Amino acid sequence: MTPFRATYRLQLHAGFDLDAARELVPYLSRLGVSHLYASPITTAVPGSAHGYDVMDPTAVNPELGGRAALDALVETLRAHSMGLVIDIVPNHMATRGPWWDDTLRNGRTAPSAPVFDIDWDRGGGRVILPVLGAPVPQLVARGDLVVEAEGAEGPALVLDDRRFPLAPESDLTASIPELLHQQHYELVEWDRARGRRNYRRFFDIDDLVGVRVEDPAVFARTHSLILELVDAGLVDGLRVDHVDGLRDPRAYLERLRAAIGLDRLLVVEKILGADEELPDVWPVDGTTGYEDLAALDALFVHPVGLDRLVEIWASEHGLRFSDIEGAGKALMLGSTFAGELDALQRSPPHHGQRGRADARDPRPAGLPDLRRRARRHPGRRNPHRRRGRTVAGARRGPDPDRARRRPRAGARLAAAHRSRQPRRAGRTPRSTGTRRCSSALRGRRLGGRPARSRGRPRSMPATRPAGNGGRAASPRRAPTTPSAARTPGPASTRCPS
């Protein structure tokens, strides 16, 4: 496997496929890039510009060139002593494609139904689909909702560019309203679906349905292609999308690490709070670097000016930022995420790997208390963290100074950056390029704690991406191999002057 030195991210789509990526390999090699970091390569919705709306995770997207194009890309990478890191999407799939159609056609007994996070009981045994722009009679009268009896994929209801497969037992001679009552799904008006949706979504996007990847059988099915590519030596590392959306991130990452081995890079898309670190118990090599971007952003905020603006706004409106933040969360919980909140309240308590209920599970306290807790929760992060360790049952109250804390850090970041302290001799580097730079910017001593050996690479040196919307992965620790530990990184991994 090619040693990690620097990555270059490419956003793949039909207009820039795997063959186009292959043509860039010689140029990237001359730049000093060691690994190509690709957006999702599995089959997505036709015409997708990003690939995160996966329809079939078991096949390479034909719009990108399919498996043959992937093999050719890897062959070219190997010829230039480079490797491949790919983005995977375990949290959700698109509400289109063969797996979803199978679920709609055959209901909860469909082979694909266990893949999706659907509360069948809440929907009366049906999937609630908020897709209509008007009542059914109006759509039928206008000819916008019709029956396609001889479709290539079987009979279906057609609404604009959407096809909804009909159940095998459907009476095709019935009227459309009667036909709808015979299906394993219910089409409802999107603006009247508040609280009625009975499937987990990616945030508030109705077209992306949650995947029950915590189920070992679902994990095996949805990761079959990815693990095949890893086993074949075609992929050197994985980037896990939206790890915060998973029911049990730690259990998922442990299962994934066991499947890909200790020698493959594993990084996660994780948004860390200003005082939060990645959980030590996660068997990963780091994050994709959002925390480093946040540190750099703080350099462009003048703390004195921001404090003055906050004071003026507060005196004018009589509210603090934390008040607005709490009201906004309450609004979203009571409207956009009402269905998800209700499902969380009624679902059985989550049990960890040791078989006991999670001490942090707030559901026994009741729905109103759950809403209060969610309003206090400071975004996509784990509030039960203290000094880098998970504290079960810890509670975090409102933080009225949160709006000011990060801007105030900007002044310290700028001062520390100007000082550019050298790394202390005799210390094992805690991380690589981006993390070392951000440590200097944050005014922390460089070098950090010695890396603890777990028999796998500790980091993924990153380079500043250029073009194609590139983003570089930002790992946590330095490699444990002797050559990598002694060899200085390329100029792109050192703090800018």
Across the range 270-296, mean pLDDT stands at 88
Report CA-CA distances (Å) from 333 to 129, 137, 329. 20, 32, 6
Residues 6+ apart with CB under 8 A from 176: 136, 140, 145, 146, 147, 157
Please write the tens of the pLDDT for every residue from 333-368: 888 888 778 777 776 655 444 444 443 443 434 455
Please write the tens of the pLDDT for every residue from 443-489: 332 222 333 333 333 333 343 333 444 444 444 433 333 333 333 33
CB 36 within 8 A of CB 8: yes
Report CA-CA distances (Å) from 399 to 294, 307, 316, 326, 442. 19, 16, 21, 11, 21
Characterize the bridge pairing of strands 162-165 and 92-94: unpaired
Q: Is the pTM of this model over 0.75?
A: no
CB 212 within 8 A of CB 117: yes
Please write the tens of the pLDDT for every residue from 290-341: 888 888 888 998 988 988 988 888 888 888 887 888 888 888 888 888 877 8
Q: What's residue 349's pLDDT? A: 59
* Residue from 106, 30, 22 nearest 466 by CA: 30
- In DSSP notation, 372-392 reads HHHHHS-SSS-SSEETTEE-T
Residues 6+ apart with CB under 8 A from 466: 8
Give the whole-angstrom CA distance, residue 69 versus residue 74.
9
Q: How confident is the model at residue 372 (pLDDT cuts 50, 70, 90)?
A: low
Q: What's residue 459's pLDDT? A: 38
Give the whole-angstrom CA distance, residue 18 versus residue 9.
13
Evaluated on CA atoms 459, 257, 237, 96, the torsion sign reads negative
* Residue from 171, 471, 398, 409 nearest 274 by CA: 409
Residue 358's CB is within 10 A of a number of other CB atoms, namely 14
116-206 and 1-91+213-288+429-497 share a CATH fold: no
Please write the tens of the pLDDT for every residue from 74-96: 999 999 999 999 999 999 999 99
Report CA-CA distances (Å) from 197 to 99, 333, 375. 19, 14, 22
- pLDDT, the chain, mean: 77
State the CATH class of domain 116-206: alpha beta
Six token digits for residue 140: 């039928």
CB 53 within 8 A of CB 207: yes
Across the range 19-26, mean pLDDT stands at 98
Give the position of tokens 């444990």.
Answer: 480
435 or 68, which is more confident?
A: 68
Give the whole-angstrom CA distance, residue 116 versus residue 103.
9
CB 252 within 8 A of CB 246: yes
Query: For the chain, how far is it from start to end, CA to CA, in angstroms?
Result: 33
Provide the 3-class DSSP secondary structure of residue 104: helix
Give the position of tokens 């479709």.
Answer: 151
Give the whole-angstrom CA distance, residue 327 versus residue 430.
40
Q: What's residue 142's pLDDT? A: 94
Window from 60-74, 89-103, 124-138, 405-419 with minimum mean pLDDT: 405-419
393 or 232, which is more confident?
A: 232
Characterize the bridge pairing of strands 474-475 and 265-268: unpaired
- The torsion angles phi and psi of 462, rounded to 5 degrees, stand at -120, 150
Report CA-CA distances (Å) from 138 to 133, 135, 144, 145. 10, 6, 9, 9
- Number of residues in the chain: 497
The CATH code of the domain at 1-91+213-288+429-497 is: 3.20.20.80
Domain boundaries, the chain: 1-91+213-288+429-497, 116-206, 321-399
- The torsion angles phi and psi of 87, rounded to 5 degrees, stand at -90, 130
29 or 401, which is more confident?
A: 29
Give the whole-angstrom CA distance, residue 473 versus residue 37.
9
Please write the tens of the pLDDT for every residue from 114-171: 999 999 998 999 999 999 999 999 999 999 999 998 878 899 999 988 999 999 999 9
Q: Is 47 left (phi over 0), alpha (psi -120 to 50) or beta?
A: left
